[in-house]
Amino acid sequence: MYDVLIIGGGITGAAAAFQLSKYKLNIAVLERENDVAMGATKANSAILHAGYDPKPGTLMARLNVRGVELAKGLCQRLDVPYRSCGSFVLALSEEDRAKVEELYRRGVENGVPGLQLLTGEEARSLEPNLASETVCALHAPTAAICSPWEFCLALMETAVRNGAELHLNTAVTGLSPIGGAGAEGAGGASPSPTGQGGWTVHTDRGELQARFVVNAAGVEADAIHDMAAPHDFTITPSRGEYYLLDKSEGARVGRVIFQAPSKLGKGVLVAPTVHGNLIVGPNATPVKGNDTSTTGEGLRSVGDAARRSVPSVNLRESIRNFSGVRANTDRGDFILREAAPGFIDLAGICSPGLSAAPAIGEYAVELLGKAGLTLEEKTDFICERKRIRFKELSPVEKAALVEKEPSYGRVICRCETVTQGEILAALHGPIPPCSVDGVKRRVNAGMGRCQGGFCAPRVVELLSRELGLSPGEIPQDQSGSWLLKVETKGGHRDV
Amino acid sequence: MYDLIVIGGGPAGLAAAQSAWEKGLKKILIVERDKELGGILNQCIHNGFGLHHFKEELTGPEYAGRFVKLLSETGVEVRLDTMVLELTPDKRVHMVGKATGYRVEEAKAIVLAMGCRERTRGAISIPGTRPAGIFTAGAAQRYVNMEGWLPGKRVVILGSGDIGLIMARRMTLEGAKVLACVEVMPYSGGLNRNIVQCLQDFDIPLYLSHTVTDIRGRDRVEQVVVSKVDKNRAPIPGTEMVFDCDTLLLSVGLIPENELTRQAGIGMDRRTNGAVVYENMETSIPGVFACGNVCHVHDLVDFVTAESQRAGEAAARYVLEGEAGQEGCLEVKNGDGVTYTVPQRIRPEQVESFCDLFFRVNRVCRNSEILVISGETLIARFQREHLAPGEMERVTLPRVLLDKAQGEITVSVREVEA
């Protein structure tokens, strides 16, 4: 029996696993996809918000501010790309001015350090590409950017190195309290929440038992909740569409540029990424389930909105479009609580979920402690991670590395200068990738302007060799996303 | 110190190195990132190469093979599986390879011959889901011809560039069903012979003035929606056709790979996406030359070869005779109907007897005149029965005519009554 089972391998589940792996506990994470960071974690603005946005007094406000503070140290120790760049919220009209000033007051109340109101002129002197309509701007120096999927990977890898188990390709189908009113399958009768004796977690790969269950299932968190406790919240997914622009646009702005918020949320931002690109988006469209498609109309609206704050942004330099789905709820706050005995919800983690994640992890430990989990700290907890990024080394370091390990001398991804050595290291890491995009999330191969056009065949070759699989068995991303149909030599009569 | 370092061992780099050797350079190095010379020709196993240069029809690997053989009889040094990471303005080349490690080599002259890459889905922002099964045509060609894998069985091709057309035929021959080739422009972007031999011969419909407006499927492509577009290339609602397919190939343009060029601070032309070059393919840094698809995208490898030979010869002259003078340099401007020209600058003093000027037009034209004008003076006039954006044009300007020009010349196209 596990002490804690965490459902969901996104940033929230990873942060919880990381925090829990500091203690002498038997823990496991269940993820239905073939990798971690497969939901909103890999498709968001990659911003660590300063914390002026959430309503004062909410968990969101408190954990946002605490989360970004923790993230800074964690990204450093776990070698996650992170840049403290600060953010602006622009008022593009006199009406916006009041909203921006309101954010300033909120921020002060939430304890956000260093906030400043700038005149339009001051803002433009720091960011010359801002619209001339900018009348004032809120400057938040503690806002930062990071690589969200690498943050998630780093947290989960560290948890795994500290003894946590990760069960990929494992979908939860039901939860039933041990010693309760009998096993519950998915869609079964309303459960009787008497989980004092722990929970049986039913999955498509068999049953597991745990004393405590943590629900970090993102867009599916309401469905998981309903397996353990009476229905009392609903996730109302909201999709945001993005452009990712080439590095030639990467210096268009140096900070995260928001517009004054509207009913629809924080609005479209223009921001640098830690990888040197420019990100533009998101809009907000209600969708059913995990619908991550993009639309012509949505992308147009994102482009139009972005040009209002940064008129010179060049969308012709687009290298990729994507969308992510926010796990919004009908509540105005994160839903973090013991929902049934031994069953903890970490639900409704919409923006600023990435920013708050490390603090949500801490809070999960606190909730579990209150619920009766014994927390005894390990003395041998590993809290560091390092990976070689060939591109970032100096010529002298590059030369020394290739001499020691020649596989770092073979460049696989030419756009991002990623070497075979880095891919092999990922394949022998704590959570080896099994897909082309899994390699991309770990080492950036295929992330550049040619989008894997040149390196994907090489990556497929390395994956198939190292995993002992046929190239035809290597997916692009999630399982089912097959890349290659049949070998060319052989019969093809069935078309 | 090398006389010449050639960056890229595809058709451009091979021809440039060969010519530089013939013109007397002794210490030449070709740096190639792949495991063999030949570049993209190695995956172009179809025929049609060499009609101009060798006066016979060869496959891509055969065409490359001829040059590799010629080079093997010279003292040109080749470093394979080696990637150039940086080129400095003082001609130091940083490179890394598994066998040779990290090296910095110096040269008196450089030829840039890095070729080009394909535009992707992201570059043209096709909406829809993001499943597997969307490949650039060249990537699919690599899987089929080099890796021995067919990426899918029911295929739609967006774009009628030559690689897309070639892949329509290739996938069909391998047993896939190619349902349609879709082109947003009212004319094809590929060579006419490829339209005939790769689409018409296999009854593959070509939809001009159409584009892909939606991609469906969670894990793998399941459907592609194609819509007609108006004259501004905007999709017309109500014209949607749905194709059940598992693969979408993209043949929507090539972009010269000029990251090293930009890094070195070499002047670029926004229209070609390549370096601005003089009549001898020299860039804004004296002694650095660019040729082939890294300079501008060609239709035929034979023309790449011819251009690269000029670059190689010029590199040799630079090393052996010194820097060229800049007197009387002419700017070449794009007039009506012309999208770009190469070269963008001509130094008449450097032109021995004549100078070839390459350009593309921005529309399909019948019975036209190509006018070369300097100020008020008509320098030259050429007749053409047919011009198309998919086919690179060339006019040859004799030195005596260039001497009449002052400051700049403008190339334009004018349609005339039949």
DSSP A174-212: EEEETTSSS---TT-SPP---GGG-EEEEEBTEEEEEEE
- The answer to whether B120 contacts chain A (CB < 8 Å) is yes
Q: How far, in Å, are A205, B109, B113, B233, B275 from residue B282 at the CA level?
A: 64, 10, 12, 37, 9
The two structure tokens encoding residue A334 = 């994160």
**Cβ-Cβ contacts under 8 Å, A406 against chain B:** 98-99, 101
Q: Averaged over B126-137, what is the pLDDT?
A: 98
pLDDT at B362 over 60: yes
Q: What are the φ/ψ torsions at residue A337 (nearest 5 degrees)?
A: -175, 165
Give the CA angle between residues A321, A324, A330 to the nearest 5°.
150
Q: In this predicted structure, what is the pLDDT of residue A180?
A: 65
Residue A182 pLDDT > 60, yes or no? no
Contact A97/A133 with Cβ under 8 angstroms? Answer: no
Q: How would you label A66-85 residue by residue, b for 16+ Cβ within 10 Å and e otherwise?
A: bbbbbbbebbeebebbbeeb
How many alpha carbons fall within 13 Å on the CB side of residue A337? Answer: 11
DSSP for residue B90: T
B166 close contact with A: CB closer than 8 A: no
Check residue A170 and give its pLDDT: 98
Q: Which amino acid is at B394?
A: R
| Rounded distance between C-alpha atoms, residue A249 and residue A310, angstroms | 12
Beta strand pairing call for B77-79 and B58-59: unpaired
The verdict on B118 touching A (C-beta cutoff 8 Å) is yes
Which pLDDT does position A188 carry in this prediction?
Answer: 44
pLDDT recorded at residue A195? 55
- Reduced to 3 states (helix: H, G, I; strand: E, B; else coil), residue A434 is coil
Tell whether the model's pLDDT for residue A427 goes beyond 80: yes
Is A49 catalytic? The answer is yes
- CA angle B333/B336/B338 to nearest 5° reads 65
Q: What average pLDDT does the segment A374-396 reach?
A: 97
Average model confidence (pLDDT) for chain B?
Answer: 96
Give yes or no for residue A493 having a pLDDT over 60.
Answer: no
Contact B81 A410 (CB under 8 A): yes
Q: How many Å apart are CA B293 and CA B307, to the nearest integer?
A: 10
Residue whose pair of structure tokens reads 């803002």 in the numeric block: A123
- Residue A263 pLDDT greater than 80, yes or no: no
- Residue B256 tokens read as 């010269």
Tracing tokens 């001009």 back to the chain, one arrives at B208
Nearest CA in chain B to A451: B120
pLDDT above 50 (res A186)? no
User: Chain B residue with minimal CA distance to A300?
Assistant: B125
Residue of A nearest to B216 (CA): A293
Output the DSSP codes for A281-346: E---EE-SSS---B-HHHHHHHHHHHHHHSTT--GGGEEEEEEEEE--BSSSS-EEEEEETTEEEE
- In this prediction, residues B44-58 reach a mean pLDDT of 95
* Alpha helices (runs of H) in B205-270, residue ranges in sequence order: 259-263
Residues of B in contact with A315 (CB under 8 A): 125
- CA distances to A289, A439, B200, B219, B319 from A444, rounded to whole Å, are 28, 7, 41, 21, 40
pLDDT recorded at residue A193: 46
Interchain contact B238–A (C-beta under 8 A): no
How high is the pLDDT of residue B158? 98
How far is A13 from A17, CA to CA, in rounded Å?
6
A492 contacts in chain B (CB < 8 Å): 150, 153, 174-176
CA distance B30 to B70: 14
Q: Among residues A336, A303, A305, which one has the least CA distance to residue A321?
A: A303
Q: Do B127 and A450 touch (CB under 8 A)?
A: no
pTM of the model: 0.94
pLDDT band at A261 (very low <50, low <70, confident <90, very high): confident
Q: Which helix (H) or strand (E) holds B288?
A: strand B288-290
Please state the ipTM of this predicted complex.
0.94
pLDDT tens for each residue of B4-42: 999 999 999 999 999 999 999 999 999 999 999 999 999
Phi-psi region of A450 (alpha: psi -120 to 50; beta: other; left: phi over 0): alpha
Handedness of CA A33, A34, A36, A42 (dihedral sign): negative
Q: Which of B97, B147, B153 is nearest residue A457 as measured by Cβ atoms?
A: B147
Contacts of B7 (CB under 8 A, 6+ apart): B13, B31, B84, B87, B93, B110, B111, B112, B113, B114, B260
pLDDT band at A264 (very low <50, low <70, confident <90, very high): low
